Structure 1
Amino acid sequence: MRNRFGSAAAIALMTTVGAVLLSACGPDNSDPGSTAAPGTAAPGTAAPGGGSHSGSPAPGGKEINGTSAANHLAISTGTKTVAMNGTTVDFGTVVRDLAWSPDGKKVVFVNGDGDLVTANPDGSGKSSLAKAPSGETWSHPTWQHASKGPGGDSVPNETEHFNNIVFASSKDGALQLETIPAKGGTPEVLTPRSSEGGTDNGIPQPPTTGNTWPNAGGHQGSIAYANTPGNEVYIYDDYIRPNTHDIGKGSQPALSPDGGHVVFVRSVNGHDHLFSRSTDYEQKTEKDLTPSATTDYTEPAWSPDGKTLAARTPDGVSTLPADGSAAPTQVSTIKGLPSYRP
């Protein structure tokens, strides 16, 4: 698959020469506060547990920035500043692959040293979750979380089991998923597995290496991720019992807020398109959301209400209806990784 900002590229771009883990964050390291800055943007609804954001208005206003308090969009570009709420927030450290906590009150990212860090949305309260070992590159953290049951009961396997940061790790060219408690601790390898597989019934287990680009969604701790060697997208669910299933060819998956759909990237006729399908293994129908694409749409993100998608393009960030009912519209010239605050 010809994917300009593919999973392997996103992992590789974070180290110095020849390892640019930051494809998801902006390979050009442009500052969203400068007039030459590249960009992103997308819609949503009012953020619960809001709070003020520090920062100065982005020069050029909406034409340059494209973010606002109303649309919940944030754009991280691999610099110290993140575009959000129509301003640029200075985090005081390089911010790569920024992602949000389920309540929107915290962010998690990889800093300039390659370590996992959490912070408040205004850049304050930074806390190091873990330091990357020498020779190991971390990328694309996501907040795995599960809500309590309908009656307020704890979820299976205890709620603590589903309050983690899952991220991709690369060492000596080997890719794998790792997980760490959101409150900090020691990272452990996350091995996707299926209770339906194994030697007893002849069904093979999913690949344990080559996995990258994790993205959590829904209320039961589900994770979508990409397997680079196979160019496949998988859904991993460990809510009641381990279950991993193959969604199909693609990369850079993003789970919807309700966990019911997954959007991913696939090359079609020389351009990267966005595809969508149900996460239900039995419902295999796919939809090309960008059938008339004349550019590449990559690194998709869902709005909090699940109605809108933001995607990175070579010219910035575009948004489109999640059902594909309209063509994408460019909303920002800032080139970076789009994310939505819940």
Structure 2
Amino acid sequence: MSVALATLAAPVAQAAPAAPAAPGAESAGLLVGTKVHPDGGASTATENPDGSRYIEATSMGGGTDQGSNPGWSPDGKRIVLQTGEGGMGTYAPDLTDPRPISYGIEGQPVFTPDGTKVIASSYSSVPAFQLKWSPADWNPMDHQGESNLQPWFAASTGDSDSSPTVSPTGTVLFQHGANGSSDIWTDHGNHTAGLLIANGGRPHLSPDGATVAFVRTVAGNTQLFVQASDGSGTATQVTSGAVNHDRPKWTSDGLGLFYNANPGTDFQTTVGHRLVLATKADTLTPGGLIDVQQQPAAVSAPATPATFHSTTPTRLLDTRSGLGRPSAGAVQAGGTVTLPVAGLAGIPSSGVSAVVLNVTVTGTTGGGHVTVWGDATARPTTSNLNWDRAGQTISNLVTVPVPVDGALDFFTNSTTQVIADVQGYYTRDDSGATFTGRTPTRVLDTRTALGTPTAGPISYRTIDLKINGQNGVPAGATAVVLNLTTAFTANSEGYLEAYPAGTTPPTVSNVNWSSTGALISGLAIVPVGADGSVSIKVNGTTDVVADVFGYFTADAAGARFSSTGPARLLDTRTTGKPVTGGSTLPLQVAGANGVPSGITSVVLNLTVTDNSGAGFLEAWADGTPRPPAGSNVNWVAGQTIANQVIVPVGADGKVNLYVNSTTHVIADIFGYFGN
């Protein structure tokens, strides 16, 4: 049977997991903009939407860089801008790694959707400015200082062109004519110029390309308007008043606009704003930035199949001691810790597609959540680990893509200590192990003496559990995927530690609890010892349950892992209808977020919240019988809790989610396995 949960008391407080961006919510993604200084100098700067992690660029001489009109590459990994020295260049998101593109008079540069070209307004004498493009990776230093600018149109458009903006399909909109008497033109997606919207300027396309924001003069002041990007329908005015509103840029979620406000024409009195269109909420941009543009939301790239490498569990981050960061101390609410992982604890310095970490919070000060993602990319609107109250210690397994800089970011919305232990990693080759998923099978339950000589709680001792050659796991398995559950803990705190039998305990945890009577599950990928067994050390007193969800072997016919990056597939809160106790919800996985058909298993983070009674959630492949045993998430009344799962996928591309007690359910995908 699945773990019973009928009699536990509710925690003291509750906290909702990270939700999709909604009108009025702060969208994720770094901001890049221009910081104007009192002396008239200007610097390019980046910051989080809440103003944290402010970084300012400097020139080679150490002063302000005088950059302007910054924007992002489609993947959010480069910033392009009009440089203070003239011409165009790019930076990394942390404003390091400057790379020149041109040395002429070019402004307002933008990337094409594939990131291979940069389009800019380039000085051309008659008419004054025309659109030109350059390869994004062109470096004049490698070509005797020469640029590689080429006309966007075969012939002049007859007037000055500026403010290019590009749709996801490659259509370019731009301002045609001088300020005050300009129109918005389009290249029709085929380099043929023509009028789109009369009496408008400074166009900027929404992330989905469906809507264009632009400026138009009304009663002597420029105001912001939005309209369908194909020019159909009528324009809607979204600002008013005796102030100039200029340079609109969409937020990364497409729900609002950043813009500049100025009572006159002096740029030193310009103030940056963020406007939420649905609610009309208007706030100042933190850090005093103007000309703000937000890092694009993470875009799912074609995944590269990868194989798994087990590692000796090793602690990489512990904010209590300062391990993995410059100083010790809790991560403050709204704060982010950046952790380099490439090249550490046996992880290669390159070729790694994802790492598997056990992330723990301790010393919590209230309910909250942690989000883990690849550094130098936009923070996703998903969560990895949730907790409900102060004084809690809780953990969850995390599978997170590793970006090109080899570092990960940890964000918490509530002050807490954060710990991260590496469990393994995936490489984009066949040097590691492949995966075979299986119907969940219970292999240990100390309440019934399954896997142990006698029934009853385990107190401060180690269980050796035979894995290979048992329950469908072959003799050659190198690692096993176990869902470990503590059942009705007898003491106020403790943890489970899983490791290869016959080896020294690594002194890192897999499942943590911080109250008596706790029911907490945690996924673990555990290397198998030389005798085909794993050890589970119980640091405390509790019954222990273990379910096998799959295994890794050297079999070339096994499945390989493809990382999709975090993406939300399900959130029943958006419909207002929780999953009713005793019912099953099919979840379509294949076809969502770039997941192909024919996959064998999926990696999900499942979260339950807003429940009024204790219960459990069970996941399995659609089109197959519900397993007789094997719960994935367990909760007590009123608890918000998450657990990562690796679950087989049905032939129809679906997994089933069963709950025995009414609750809202959230499902975030992190990757999948396929042959």
Q: Do both share a fold (TM > 0.5)?
A: yes
2:188 corresponds in structure 1 to 237
Cα shift readout 1:10-41 (whole Å, capped 9, x = no counterpart): xxxxxxxxxxxxxxxxxxxxxxxxxxxxxxxx
CA shift, 1:222, in A, is 1.7
Alignment match, 1:298: 246
CA distance in 2, matches of 1:266, 1:302: 17
Q: How does 1:212-251 map to 2 (within 5 A)?
A: 212-216=162-166, 218-229=167-178, 230-238=181-189, 242=192, 244-251=194-201
Say if 2:115 is the partner of 1:165.
no
SS of the aligned residue for 1:249 comes to coil
- Whether the 8 Å contact between 1:221 and 1:237 is mirrored in structure 2 is no
Which 10-residue stretch deviates more, 227-236 or 271-280?
A: 227-236
**Compared with structure 1, are the counterparts of its residues 335 and 123 closer, same or farther at alpha carbon in structure 2 (3 Å cutoff)?**
closer
What is residue 287 of structure 1 aligned with on the other side? 236
Residue among 183, 203, 211 paired with 2:137 = 183
Q: Distance in 2 between matches of 1:297 and 1:69?
A: 22
Alignment of 1:15-164 (within 5 A): 70=28, 72-77=30-35, 79-85=42-48, 86-93=52-59, 94=65, 95-132=67-104, 137-146=105-114, 163-164=116-117
Number of residue pairs matched? 241
* Equivalent-residue separation in structure 1 for 2:233 and 2:122 (angstroms): 30
SS at match of 2:69: strand
Query: Matched residues in 2 for 1:310 and 1:215: separation?
Result: 15
**Aligned twin of 1:254:** 204
Matches of 1:219 and 1:139, distance apart in 2:
21
- Looking at structure 2, the residues matched to 213 and 221 of structure 1 have their Cα atoms a distance apart, in angstroms, of 15
Instruction: Give secondary structure in 1 for the equivalent of 2:288.
Output: coil
* Higher radius of gyration, 1 or 2: 2
- Displacement of 1:269 in angstroms is 1.3
- Superimposed CA distance per residue, residues 193-233 of structure 1 (whole angstroms, 9 cap, x where no aligned partner): 8xxxxxxxxxxxx93431111122x3211222101245101
Residue pair 1:164, 1:179 contacting (<8 A) in 2 also: yes
Give the match for residue 271 of structure 2: 316
Q: Which residue of 2 aligns with 1:272?
A: 222
- Unpaired stretches in structure 2, ≥5 consecutive residues: 1-19, 36-40, 60-64, 139-146, 263-269, 297-675
- Check the 8 A contact 2:134/2:148 in 1, yes or no: yes
TM-score, normalisation: structure 2: 0.33
For normalisation by structure 1, the TM-score amounts to 0.63
What amino acid is aligned across from residue 75 of structure 1 in structure 2?
A: G
Q: Distance in 2 between the 1:211 and 1:128 partners? A: 23
How much identity, in percent, do the aligned residues show?
A: 23
Q: Is the contact made by 1:69 and 1:84 (CA closer than 8 Å) also made in structure 2?
A: no
> What one-letter code is carried by the residue in structure 1 that aligns with 2:177?
T
Asked if the contact 1:117/1:128 (under 8 Å) is kept, the reply is yes
Q: Which has the higher contact order (CA 8 A, sep 6+)?
A: 1
| CA distance in 1 between partners of 2:76 and 2:108 (Å) | 17
Are the aligned partners of 2:249 and 2:258 in contact in 1 as well (CA < 8 Å)?
yes
Contact 1:176 1:208 in 2 (8 A): no
Instruction: Report the structure, 1 or 2, having the larger strand content.
Output: 2
1:341 paired to 2:291: no
Q: Which amino acid aligns with 1:141?
A: P
Gap change, CA 1:234 and 1:192, over 3 Å in 2: farther
Distance 2:289 2:30 in 1: 17
